[in-house]
Amino acid sequence: MKQTALFHILSDETRLRALALMQSAGEVCICELVHALDLPQPKISRHMAAMRDAGIVIPRRDAQWVFYAPNPCLPDWQLQVITAAMLGLKESAVTAQDLSRLQAMPNRPARCPT
């Protein structure tokens, strides 16, 4: 991936919020992101597809659920850029609200043991 492609992906607030949530909570599915970010499902799906296509997140299908997690196999420079971006969001009030909404979500999908 070109450097500009990574920075383009990280320049969007919704994608940054989703990544920050995954960084804090681990693997999440679209329904959890919809609930936590309080955004419509088509918007979340579109952003996750962009991050998946760029290789920033990796999907895992479990029955009807598709769970996403940050890709740990990115080149070092990309991991460093993402880590720095997440460090900047760690203390954000929006990130805290997103995580709080996720933790309060009823009926979260169960994860199969890996």
Q: What is the pLDDT, as a whole number, of residue 114?
A: 52
- pTM of the predicted structure, to 2 decimals: 0.90
CB atoms within 10 A of CB 9: 21
Give mean pLDDT, residues 71-99: 93
Question: How many alpha carbons fall within 13 Å on the CB side of residue 48?
Answer: 27
Instruction: Examine residue 111 and state whether it is found in any structural domain, yes or no.
Output: no
Structure tokens at 76: 């070092």
Here the contacts of 5-8 (C-beta below 8 Å, separation 24 or greater) are 5/54, 6/54, 6/56, 6/78, 6/81, 7/81
Q: How many domains does the chain have?
A: 1
Give residue-wise pLDDT tens across range 20-41.
999 999 999 999 999 999 999 9
pLDDT digits (tens, 9 = 90+) for 53-66: 999 999 999 888 89
- Using CA atoms, how far apart are residues 28 and 11, in angstroms rounded to an integer? 21
Residue 49 lies in a domain: yes
Q: Does 55 map to a domain?
A: yes
Range of the domain at 67: 3-103
Q: Is residue 94 one of the residues assigned to a domain?
A: yes
The single residue listed with the structure tokens 């997140």 is 57
